[in-house]
Amino acid sequence: MNITAQHVAPEEIMELLDGELSAAEAQAISAHIEDCAECARLAEQLRTTSQALSAWKVAAIPTRLEDSITEVAAKAGSGAEIGNSGLFVRTSFWSWKQWAGLGCGAAVSALLLFAIFLPMRYERRQVAQHRIDGFAAEHTERLDQRTGGDRDRVVTRGSIGRLQKDGAVMGALIGTPESAKALQDVLPPRLEDAPMIARTVALSMMTRDFAASRSSLDAIVARYQGYSAQMNVSTTENSPRSLEASLRIPAPALSSTIRDLKTLGRVERESQSGEEVTRQHEDLVARLKNSRETEQRLREILQQRTGKVTDVLKVEQEIARVRGEIEEMEAEQKALEHRVDFATVELQLTEEYKAQLNPPAPSVSTRVHNAFVAGYQNVSETLLGIVLFFAEFGPAILIWLAILSLPVVAIWRRYRRLSAAV
């Protein structure tokens, strides 16, 4: 069973009315029918048709047919051979009521088929139109956000490429003339010759209310669907607070973002630069195409080659090398397109700080406690330093004392003898 997010198939609704579904499936489809007006209308049509078919009344068996059946049964009981009656013989027993019933049945069957397939065709058209409307609304909103409401404004090639890819997939899935027209109205023209420029902006600003500017910064970045690649905030006591951030902003919204960022404070320094990477991107795309073709040829050689194992291993190693280059180039291409689609804004925000004449000092108890702690730490460090000094230099000192003590003792003895002689 396939329950889509939009509608339920008519076959599943018929199974629900006939009681052929499990309890869980019946509950899920019933809940969907309660929320979907089109499925509810289709279920009501099928229920009406089923009731009409149930109300049919079978006419009584004609007398001639009953007599014929009795005669055949008697022959079968006596063992006589019974031949097969032809179609015309069987229908010859029909009355005008039976013929009329056959005609009515054919007409009702035709109406039933018409009632089933017409809503299905209408449903497909409605689903297609619903998908078109959703796709158009989504990408129109995306374009409006990236271009500031100007649909004719030129946006980046990476953004257009993604929209065109999504539009092609949606058009292939729907496959209706309405889808082609709707997608043409939504998608902008192809930008074959539009340059790819990676933009960088540096702003240095001074603000009076740092907290309010910090909050406004987050709101501005979220409004234009950007993000912060890196942010450092310094809030040291008795010093000005500062913020350094590396922001990534969609390129079409760069001008609007810079205009809003300048409202955070006074601009002290501003610089803008742009690096054109069109040639680099084209070279990368060409290299990537050649590498993929090389990989495809190597795989074909590997499938057709039946030579030595060493040759097969060399081909596999070459495929692995080419695959690694392809992955590196794909990552480089994505990074390059991301640089074009998202401009870099290096923001430095500093608070206007006024030094206080009498800064708040800690309490007396806190200062006494800190003094005792500092004294204890000084004594501990001094004793530990003495122990470490003797542990490191004590053996060398003892050796030098032993060496120097010998001449000192000899000179002292000689002095004593001279003093005794005098």
Residue 158 confidence (pLDDT) above 70: no
For range 133-162, the mean pLDDT: 51
Determine the residue type at 85. Answer: S
What mean pLDDT do residues 275-292 have? 90
Residue 204 clears pLDDT 90, i.e. is over it: yes
Alpha-carbon distance of 240 to 350, in angstroms, equals 7
Residue 254 above 60 pLDDT? Answer: yes
> How far apart are the C-alpha atoms of 163 and 275, rounded to whole Å?
24
Per-residue model confidence (pLDDT) at position 127: 59
Length of the chain counted residue by residue: 422
CA 416 to CA 410: how far, in whole Å? 10
Q: How far apart are CA 131 and CA 173, in angstroms?
A: 10
Give per-residue pLDDT as tens, 296-340.
Answer: 888 888 887 666 778 778 888 888 998 999 999 999 989 999 989
13 in Cβ contact with 115 (< 8 Å): no
Mean pLDDT, all residues of the chain = 75
pLDDT, tens digit, 9 for 90 and up, residues 334-359: 999 998 999 999 999 998 877 665 55
Q: What pLDDT does residue 170 have?
A: 47
Lowest-pLDDT choice from 76-85, 160-169, 350-359: 160-169
Q: Using CA of residue 10, residue 13, residue 18, residue 22, what is the dihedral sign?
A: positive
- Beta strands 342-351 and 197-207, pairing class: parallel
**Mean pLDDT to the nearest integer, 121-146:** 59
Whether the pLDDT of residue 246 is over 60: the answer is yes
Handedness of CA 173, 179, 185, 190 (dihedral sign): positive
Which pLDDT does position 412 carry in this prediction?
85
For residue 174, pLDDT over 70 is answered with no
Tokens encoding 350: 């500093």
pLDDT at 11: 78
Query: pLDDT confidence of 366, banded at 50, 70, 90?
Result: confident
Contact (Cβ atoms closer than 8 angstroms) between residue 352 and residue 241: no
- Beta-carbon contacts of 256 under 8 Å, excluding residues fewer than 6 positions away, are 148, 224
| Token representation of residue 53 | 């078919």
More confident residue, 247 or 422: 247
Confidence band for 124, pLDDT divided at 50, 70 and 90 = low
Amino acid letter at 412?
W
Q: What is the mean pLDDT of residues 250-277?
A: 91
Asked whether the predicted pLDDT for residue 113 surpasses 80, the reply is no
pLDDT at 192 over 50: no
Query: Which range, of 25-29, 47-51, 80-84, 98-102, averages the lowest pLDDT?
Result: 80-84
**What is the token pair recorded at 273?**
């630069």
Q: Which amino acid is at 107?
A: A
* pLDDT per position as a tens digit, 33-68: 788 888 888 788 878 877 776 776 666 666 666 677
Statement: residue 250 has pLDDT above 90: yes
Range with the largest mean pLDDT of 25-29, 75-79, 85-89, 375-379: 375-379
Separation in Å, CA 84 to CA 87, 89, 247, 389, 399: 10, 10, 90, 126, 134
- Determine the Cα–Cα distance for residues 360 and 366; give it in Å rounded to an integer: 13
Sheet holding 242-250, edge to edge: 227-234, 242-250, 342-351, 197-207, 266-276
Q: How far apart, in Å, are the Cα atoms of 49 and each of 14, 45, 114, 116, 119? A: 11, 6, 11, 10, 14
The strand pairing partners of 197, in sequence order, are: 276
